[in-house]
Every structure is written in C-alpha cells, then in structure tokens.
Structure 1
Amino acid sequence: MKADLLLEGSFDEAIEGVDGVFHTASPVLVPYDTNIQENLIDPCIKGTLNVLNSCKKASSLKRVVLTSSCSSIRYRYDVQQVSPLNESHWSDPNYCKDYNLWYAYAKTIAEQEAWKVAEKSGIDLVVVNPSFVVGPLLAPQPTSTLLLILAVITGRKGEYPNTTVGFVHIDDVVSAHILAMEENNASGRLVCSSSVAHWSEIIEMLKAKYPSYPYENKCSSQEGDNNPHSMDSSKIIKLGLPPLRTLDQMFDDCIKSFQEKGFL
C-alpha cells in the first residue's frame, strides 16, 4: 500500500472505508544546510493537502484530526501584546520569513490550507496545536525534538536555543488527539500546551535535579524566537482533557527514558 506524502492520491487506498484519520506526519527540525523547501516545507504543506484530498474521496469518513502546532499561533510581531495566546491567534508568515522560522512558516500555511479544504469539502476537521513535545521515547531512536534535548543535556550542540516556548508531555498530546477524534463536541483548533519557559530555565531546572551532565552554557544568538508569552489550553481542558503534566514530570520521564535506553 502506497503512503507517500508528496504523491497525490497516495493515501486513497489507505483511507477508503475508514471512519477517522489522524494526520500527524511532518518534519520538525532539519539540518541548517539542507534544502528547506524540499525537506521541510513541501512535506508539511503538500503532504497535508494530499492527505486531505484523499480524505475528500472517502465516503465513510466522519472526522479528520490534524496535528498542527503552537508554532502556527505564536510567531507574530505583537505576541507580547496579545498574550495569552489561544485558538483565535495565527502566526504571521512574514514574521516567520523575517527570522527564518521555516517550521513555523510551514505549519502555519499547512494549517490554513487545511481549513480551506475542509470548508470547501465539508470535512469535519479538528486541529490539535501542541507546543514542544517532551516525554519518554516511543521509538528505538529519539525524534528530532528529543535529539535537541539530548544535545542540550550532553553539551554536544555548542549552544542552547534562544527560545521561549511552551512544553507539553507526549502522553497529553496523545490524549488530546483521541479526545479530538472521539468527543462529538470537539471542533476547530485545540491548543495543547502546559508551561512556557526559556531554554535557560529548563537547563537550570535540570541541573538542580541531574547535576552530573555537561549541559550547554552558551545561548544562541538567534532572534525572533524568544518572545515572552503564554498559551491558553482552557478550551481542550473544558472539553475533557485531564490536567496537563508539569515541566518536572515531562522532563523526568524524558531523562529516565534516555537513561533506560542508553542515550544518557
């Protein structure tokens, strides 16, 4: 069975006859020297459109749950003025371009295009907008986001991100997706984010609990990604999601998993 995000019609066979579709696949972090358009932007935007176009053909389909991101919400020139950020806010693609925030750019455009397709076709689309996902490894190798955490802890990167970002436990993100699919009252966008912190705060928190690791001690000079803000997850909490896990809980689970699997 074919399943190529960049091949139109590739998901027709897989989706035919199903009740619901979760579309979660998208590159997050890619090397700086890579082809951003080919390896990040196209899979994100074209991949989303190709999956939704296949969904339009499936008469059995009742709902699509799309994994977007808080990155499609928080990158704006006025972020500090409008914070706390909620489902009504959108990232500004021009801001993303100005600061080379290509993942945020791709996720913003992909989600906007997804809503256009849903509105025209009548697809019942619900979008989950998680922040930076943390927690135990679910696969043999760390994801790109977990590799970033590992690099910060072990001092392999040379610097830590100059980023203020929301964090959320992977288990909460999974629960959010199931809720978005199964709860009849779920609709629109659903922010799923626990605490917002700068990476320097995360490092200090981890140093206090796990002092033996050679953490990064230099902050990146990257601009545009360190604006103080907060995220409002009250909509999905009211829908029935249990209280979100804390920073301590998600990073404890992450580090324990790294240790058990031999990465730390």
Structure 2
Amino acid sequence: MAGDKTVCVTGGSGFIGAWLVRLLLDRGYSVHATVQNLHDENETKHLEDLEEHKSNRLRLFQIDLLDYDSILKAITGVSGVFHLASPCTVDKILDPEKEVLGPAIKGTNNVLVAAKELGVKRVVITSSISAIVPSRHWPADVVKNEDCWTDVEYCKQKELWYPASKTLAEKAAWEFAKEKGLEVVVVNPGTVMGPVLPPTLNASMLMLLRLFQGCTETYEDFFMGSVHVKDVALAHILVYENPAATGRHLCVEAISHYGDFAAKVAELYPEHQFPSIPRDTQPGLLRSKDGAKKLMDLGMQFISMEQIIKDSVESLKSKGFLS
C-alpha cells in the first residue's frame, strides 16, 4: 500500500508484536506501538532499544483494551492497524470472562470501532490456530484449513478458555467487518517460537522450556504446528501490503503433532534427557507440509522446524532460562 506509512501495532511489547514493530521500522514505516504500562521497563525498554528508534518513527502509547478513548488516541493518524493485543496463557484460568473472554472480544471490537471511525484502510488481526482447533467435527480424511473453526461448546465443557476467546473474538471481527464494511484480514499462527525480544517468555516458549524441564504434557487441544516468530511478523506485513490477501491465513511451518516437535527437539539435543512423548499427540490431525498454502501463494517461505528449535533454544540460553 503506497501513501501514508504510519501504522498502529496493539500489543507491540509482546513476543510477536516486538518483532512486527522491528520489521515495520526496517521497512520504513512509522509505528504507534501500544503497551499496557508506559512506566514498566519490561514492556518498553526492548522497544526503545530497536536502533531505528533514533529516527523517531516509533511512538509508544499506553492503552487498556476496555478503554475506548485510549485506543482512539493510539490509532489516530494511522492508515493501518495490526491488532495483536489479547490475553494469552496455557495455564489455568479462574475467571474466564474477566481474564480472557471480555478483553479478547470487547477489546477487538473497540479496536475495530476506532479503526472504522478514524477511516483506517486495513486492519490485520492476529487470531490463532486456537480458532481452528480443537474442532472435533471436522471430517477425519480432510487436512484442516482456514474453513475449519474451533468448537466453542467443546471448549466451554473442557474449560479451554483461550481457544474459546480467540474463536469468539475472530468471529466477532468478521461480523463487524461484514456489517460495517471495514477491510479486515486475519493471520492464524501456530505455536510461535524463536528469538525473544521482550524480557519475559510467551506461552509457546514456556512450552519448549517445560519440555527441557521434563514436562510430559501433550497440548492435545493447543498444537497444530510450529512457526518462527519472524515468519509470523512477516506474514502480517505480507497480508497488510497485498490487496489480494483476504480472509484467514493459517501460519505454520507445517501442520504437525506436538509429538513430532518433541521428537525433533530430542534428536537435536541428545545430551539432554527428554520424557518419552507419543508421536500422535493431536487425535485426528492430519499432517501436511503445505498447511499454510494461502501464505505460500503470497510468496511466504517458512523457516524449518529444525531452525525454529535451534533459534529458540539459543534464545533461551542467551537469556539465562536454559543452561
């Protein structure tokens, strides 16, 4: 998209957000990045350290997803919005409405209302494979793709609040786009790993760290393939800049099982003792090398699982999480 190169990235301090800010600055964009607390160095320092900051193309805004006015300020003066901010955890949730459902759904709606009000051209929403799986009713002989949606009733029964929140937020976004005529496009990343820019670890990198610590969890309802964080950031820019990109975009290096991932980690680090994890950890999930065909058709070339693991482990070591 030519013309105004100022965009807003909500959740700019997060794992994917910080990479997206970095790549946007590299491409000459000016960026309004949002954080939850401007006085918290854990949220701001790694963004301010992006060397491009010297050219004053990065501005930080403090927002609360449930406070419309704070969102309005951050989006004023931009031509595109990348909406990444959403609560993410694989740990137990005590108050689903307050902890994840409310902020995810109302937050997304507030961002879209503000974008529409301010005449934003295109909004890219970061959804998740958690809005695609768990999907128990999908035909067993068909590879899962962008037409597949998470079964929210199943999530409620099993108290899987994160997939429920991502699914309901994405569905609300499509509803809004259709009703109000706003240009929305969605990226659905798998388990995102790679070099960590923020000082804290995201849920996916914790998954890898816990594997090294002997965790035998198989993430039955939370895994569909790994993807490098840099590729996820690139995918966002790709669908933003390409007018032909529409709908949802599954973003994984390959559709695979957590067992495949764990086996590759064990193969790469034979000096470590890893728990034995079955190969088929995602019941009914058919493997596929080109699960992200829509993104590949736009020119995306994905970093391999092996390289994702190596970059992730190196990052965990350099940050002192692994010795």
Aligned to 1:114: 173
CA distance in structure 2 between the aligned counterparts of 1:36 and 1:216, rounded to whole angstroms:
31
CA distance in structure 2 between the aligned counterparts of 1:27 and 1:173, rounded to whole angstroms:
18
Aligned to 1:8: 68
Query: 1:96 and 2:155 equivalent?
Result: yes
Partner of 1:65, secondary structure, is strand
1:204 to 1:218, Cα distance in 2 relative to 1, 3 A: closer
> Is the 2:82–2:125 Cα contact (8 Å) retained in structure 1?
yes
Which stretch shifts more, 93-102 or 146-155?
Answer: 93-102
- The alpha-carbon deviation at position 82 of structure 1 amounts to 5.6
Query: 1:227 and 2:284 equivalent?
Result: yes
Partner of 1:12, secondary structure, is helix
CA distance in structure 1 between the aligned counterparts of 2:205 and 2:225, rounded to whole angstroms:
15
Query: 1:256 and 2:308 equivalent?
Result: no
Instruction: Give the partner amino acid of 1:39.
Output: E
Instruction: Give the partner amino acid of 2:303.
Output: R
> Is the 1:126–1:187 Cα contact (8 Å) retained in structure 2?
yes
CA distance in structure 2 between the aligned counterparts of 1:5 and 1:206, rounded to whole angstroms:
37
The 5 Å alignment of 1:30-41 reads 30-32=90-92, 34-41=94-101
The 5 Å alignment of 1:30-179 reads 30-32=90-92, 34-59=94-119, 61-81=120-140, 83-155=142-214, 157=215, 159-163=216-220, 164-179=223-238
Which stretch shifts more, 112-121 or 29-38?
Answer: 29-38
Partner of 1:197, secondary structure, is coil
CA distance in structure 2 between the aligned counterparts of 1:181 and 1:100, rounded to whole angstroms:
34
> Is the 1:80–1:228 Cα contact (8 Å) retained in structure 2?
no
CA distance in structure 1 between the aligned counterparts of 2:79 and 2:127, rounded to whole angstroms:
21
1:194 to 1:30, Cα distance in 2 relative to 1, 3 A: closer
1:75 to 1:218, Cα distance in 2 relative to 1, 3 A: closer
After superposition, what is the alpha-carbon deviation per residue over 1:132-184, rounded to whole angstroms, capped at 9, x for unaligned? 112111212211221121011122x4x32243522111111111000111112
- The alpha-carbon deviation at position 201 of structure 1 amounts to 2.8
1:215 to 1:34, Cα distance in 2 relative to 1, 3 A: farther
Instruction: Give the partner amino acid of 1:116.
Output: E
Partner of 1:196, secondary structure, is coil
Aligned to 2:41: none
> Is the 2:83–2:111 Cα contact (8 Å) retained in structure 1?
yes
CA distance in structure 1 between the aligned counterparts of 2:101 and 2:257, rounded to whole angstroms:
26
1:201 to 1:240, Cα distance in 2 relative to 1, 3 A: closer
Q: Specify every segment of 5 or more residues in structure 2 that has no aligned partner in the other structure, as ranges.
A: 1-60
Q: Specify every segment of 5 or more residues in structure 1 that has no aligned partner in the other structure, as ranges.
A: none
1:173 to 1:252, Cα distance in 2 relative to 1, 3 A: same
CA distance in structure 2 between the aligned counterparts of 1:259 and 1:173, rounded to whole angstroms:
22
CA distance in structure 2 between the aligned counterparts of 1:98 and 1:82, rounded to whole angstroms:
25
Instruction: Give the partner amino acid of 2:108.
Output: T
Two-structure CA RMSD over aligned residues (Å): 2.1
- The alpha-carbon deviation at position 34 of structure 1 amounts to 3.2
Instruction: Give the partner amino acid of 2:306.
Output: D
- The alpha-carbon deviation at position 21 of structure 1 amounts to 0.3
> Is the 1:28–1:145 Cα contact (8 Å) retained in structure 2?
no
Instruction: Give the partner amino acid of 2:111.
Output: V
What stretches of structure 1 move > 6 A for 4+ residues in a row?
none
Paired residue total? 256
1:57 to 1:89, Cα distance in 2 relative to 1, 3 A: same
After superposition, what is the alpha-carbon deviation per residue over 1:96-128, rounded to whole angstroms, capped at 9, x for unaligned? 223332211111110000011111111110111
1:80 to 1:150, Cα distance in 2 relative to 1, 3 A: farther
- The alpha-carbon deviation at position 217 of structure 1 amounts to 4.3
Give % identity: 36
